[in-house]
Amino acid sequence: MTHDGLHLHGLTRRYANSGRIGPLDLDIRPGEIVAMTGPSGAGKSTTCRMISGLERPDAGSVTLGGTNFARLPVPQRGVAHMFESYALYSHLNVAQNVAFPLKAPSRPKLPAAEIEARANALLEVAQIAHLKHRKPGELSGGQKQRVALCRCLVQDAAIYLLDEPISHLDAKLRNELRGWIRRRQTGLEVPTFWFTPDAMEALSVADRVAVIIGGEIAQFAAPEEIYFNPATPDVARIVGDPAMNLIDGRLESRDGGAMAFAGPGIDLRLDDALAARASARGPRDVVLGIRPSAMQVGGEDARVQVYSWEPFGKYSIITAMLDGTMVRMKTPRLDRFDANALLDIAIDRQGVVLFDGATRRAI
Amino acid sequence: MRGAPAMSISLRGLIKDYGDFVAVRGVDLDCPTGQMLGLLGPSGCGKSTTLKMIAGIEEVTSGHILFSGREVHALPPGARNIAMVFEDYALYAHLSVFENIAFPLRVSHRPKAEIAQRVGAILKLLRLEAIQHERVRKLSGGAQQRVSIGRALVRKPEVILFDEPLSHLDADQKVQLRSEIKRLQQLQGLTSILVTHDQTEAIAMCDVIAVMNDGELEQVATPQTLYDTPANTFVAQFIGEPPMNLLSARLERTAGGVVIDGPTWRLPISDRHPVLRSMSGKDVTLGLRPEAFWLTDGAVSGTAATVTGKVRFREHRGDTDVLLVALEGAPEGAEIHVSADVPGPSPLREDDRVCLAFDDSKISVFERDSGRNMELDTVAGVGIAA
């Protein structure tokens, strides 16, 4: 099926306590994967459920290939929805659960051999073919998640909604399935909408990423853009491994017109490009963002006290206190850093961003 | 604030047989006093069953559990002086932070003044003072788990058992709590055991990690040793993200010595591999970490070697990009891929041709059939389970 994809126009869900999800505006092209990421409670699952028809929006619309979902009965929307809660049939075994959507009365009848072949192919990729005769009650959480994923992907859908498809798997399997799902879905001519609380998973799997915070889309952009130019401090706070460090302070003009950031325990001259943008705004309250990999041991930009140290084989993460603000540094050094030790650090200006303290937007 | 004197834990020949399936198949393991031991493995590997046996909430089929050398077989859970921190916090939702932490002390009828003093010390330690009067149901997952750790610590247990403590937390809270637990464990010298399926958590927090698979130990070692010298292909692929590349190859004797006849290249064996040099004609599996590769225009020197291929797929990981590269020279119809972790964002697109260099001393070599690391005999302290 080829069409102009999925469009959300002002999609909104209101709650009695004056809480609200939306209005959401977003599009996904056929063959494209868009990931929505944000903290738990931000509105990811609600968005997913409004698209699949499990929740009724209070305003706005969902269209797919130009057809308004509000005018289509749910079974005719062609939505394959993988639930965060798995929602497996406990009385059916793994193979029967996966084959179930292909046997729905509303769809053309398929030969039994083809149903079995399609289900088997997916179970192989998900590495659970050997469990096919087990009931969901006999599976671990990670195994159930893979059954739910297979049951979603086995369908010929007009759109795929994957609500936390790989969150409970170990790293190796997550890594394999992430790549495999991406290659498979981008080869189909339909949109895929992937929901995950893990921003790095969103960045690695999607063509574009929507960051949802407090029910609103804070940024909708390509993965590099989200990572290197987060639109707001709230986006910066959840993106990265570990996430960007944020320090409240003031933008000040110095002698000779140079711009500097002054905050607790840190006084930082900005590089030319950032200083030019900053000086156009003039002195003001700002939030300084520093990527963990831009803070290195040895230097004269600030002094921090080690809080804890985590060696990861190829790099270490040092958590440290900068005059009361907790910061994280990602360093290639693998030697031990003891709690409470003092470190002088350097800050690479390439890894620095500024946000306006009042508007909360990037400068 | 200091806890009770910590103790060590030893497992000897520990077995759990459920009748229709054996969950733990003879585990020997030691957690020294004041250290954090990780039990890491995929779902169903027996790690949680092992933890439950240590806690006394799962019966032992055979074998021994020793606390500081003393058999605890006959001791009920309540008499073992251990505390557990659970995946789902298991807090009393209607009680305040203070009362949740005070709960074990109230149950054991401690005097009011002592309760106030001990809970106060825990609140300070875990930086919970500001929210001590709030009900726990209103708190974030990370704060709830801190309360649950506080409730475990207040009893001054000799051992703390953590069962997937970070599983339900958002990524930022995971990173936060991970470093808190590590700091606490080190400053307090707590003997603790962490069960997790997440290698990042285990590496971040543990002094020693026992990698489990199918009820058995695959390797027991420090995080750095697991990363640098995995005992076998299972550990090699379970530790590190993205996982280590594994490629079929053969050791061959040539005029100049022994070479590794790789899938699409031949490499002389450097002096670092004395065992390998004596084993020509053997089928092996090469292991190469994705981060051992770097992009080059083809000219390399020293012990570096290169492979070329086409980018099939690129993943953004922020500071790095992970490239899935199909190697050139692979047999018709059988693509051989490696993943390479390169600085990001790279301008590369799918189908671009790339040349990847790697240092041949960074290769791990595993026996093909057994999957065993062939360098083990020459490397001290790798710590295979007895």
pLDDT in tens, B323-374: 999 998 887 777 889 999 998 888 898 899 999 998 877 888 899 999 999 8
Residue scoring higher pLDDT (A104 or A288): A288
Residue scoring higher pLDDT (B386 or A89): A89
The CB-side HSE value for A277 (13 A sphere, CA atoms) comes to 12
* Residue A138 confidence (pLDDT): 84
- Partners of A211 on chain B (C-beta within 8 Å) are none
C-alpha to C-alpha distances, A127 to A81, A145, A150, A173, nearest whole angstrom: 21, 12, 11, 9
Across B218-232, average pLDDT = 95
- Output phi, psi for A185, to 5 deg: -70, -35
* Residue B4 confidence (pLDDT): 52
| Cα dihedral: A307, A310, A316, A317 (round 10) | -50
Of the pLDDT bands very low, low, confident and very high (cuts 50, 70, 90), residue B270 is: low
* Alpha-carbon gap: B225 to the closest alpha carbon of chain A (Å): 8
* Residue B380 confidence (pLDDT): 47
Assess whether pLDDT exceeds 60 at residue A161: yes
Of the pLDDT bands very low, low, confident and very high (cuts 50, 70, 90), residue A116 is: very high
Assess whether pLDDT exceeds 70 at residue A1: no
| Residue labelled with tokens 């603790």 | B192
C-alpha to C-alpha distances, B297 to A104, A189, B306, nearest whole angstrom: 55, 36, 10
> Which residue(s) pair with B29 in the sheet?
B11
Any CB–CB contact under 8 A between B187 and chain A? yes
The pLDDT > 70 percentage for chain B reads: 93
Of the pLDDT bands very low, low, confident and very high (cuts 50, 70, 90), residue B97 is: very high
Assess whether pLDDT exceeds 90 at residue A40: no
Residue scoring higher pLDDT (B270 or B80): B80
Helix (H) or strand (E) holding A237: helix A233-238
Across A316-327, average pLDDT = 94
∠ CA B175-B180-B182, rounded to 5°: 95
> Among residues 194-213 of chain A, which lie with CB inside 8 Å of chain B?
197-200, 203-205
Assess whether pLDDT exceeds 90 at residue B28: yes
Helix (H) or strand (E) holding B123: helix B112-125
Q: Which residue of A37, A175, A207, A208 is the best one to mutate when testing the B interface, meaning the one whose CB has the most B CBs within 10 A?
A: A175
* Alpha-carbon gap: A350 to the closest alpha carbon of chain B (Å): 12
CA A123 to the chain's CA centroid: 26
How many whole angstroms separate alpha carbon B234 and alpha carbon B239? 9
Name residue B195's amino acid.
V
Assess whether pLDDT exceeds 80 at residue B386: no
The pLDDT > 90 percentage for chain A reads: 75
Any CB–CB contact under 8 A between B294 and chain A? no
Assess whether pLDDT exceeds 70 at residue A196: yes
Assess whether pLDDT exceeds 60 at residue A279: yes
Of the pLDDT bands very low, low, confident and very high (cuts 50, 70, 90), residue B382 is: very low
Across B123-132, average pLDDT = 90
Any CB–CB contact under 8 A between B248 and chain A? no
Across B21-32, average pLDDT = 94
Nearest CA in chain B to A141: B43
Of the pLDDT bands very low, low, confident and very high (cuts 50, 70, 90), residue B66 is: very high
Looking at residue A204, the DSSP 8-state letter turns out to be: H
| Mean model confidence pLDDT for chain A | 92
Of the pLDDT bands very low, low, confident and very high (cuts 50, 70, 90), residue B271 is: low
| Mean model confidence pLDDT for chain B | 88
Nearest CA in chain A to B224: A313
Token pair, residue A17, equals 């306590």
* Alpha-carbon gap: A317 to the closest alpha carbon of chain B (Å): 9
How many whole angstroms separate alpha carbon A167 and alpha carbon A48? 16
Predicted complex ipTM: 0.82
* Residue B303 confidence (pLDDT): 67
* Alpha-carbon gap: A86 to the closest alpha carbon of chain B (Å): 16
Residue scoring higher pLDDT (A275 or B212): B212
* Residue B272 confidence (pLDDT): 56
CB B312 within 8 A of CB B302: no
| Residue pairs spanning A and B at CB distance below 8 A | 124
Across A299-309, average pLDDT = 94
- Partners of B186 on chain A (C-beta within 8 Å) are 308, 339
* Residue B280 confidence (pLDDT): 77
* Helix, strand or coil, per DSSP, at residue B152: helix
Across A96-100, average pLDDT = 95
* Residue B113 confidence (pLDDT): 96
Of the pLDDT bands very low, low, confident and very high (cuts 50, 70, 90), residue B162 is: very high
Residue scoring higher pLDDT (B137 or B270): B137
Assess whether pLDDT exceeds 60 at residue A264: yes
* Residue B1 confidence (pLDDT): 46
Largest CA distance in chain A: 80
Convert A50-63 into a string of H (helix), E (strand) and C (coil).
HHHCCCCCCEEEEE
Residues 6 or more apart in contact with residue A223 via CB below 8 angstroms:
A202, A203, A204, A206, A208, A209, B316
Any CB–CB contact under 8 A between B189 and chain A? no
CB A355 within 8 A of CB A233: yes
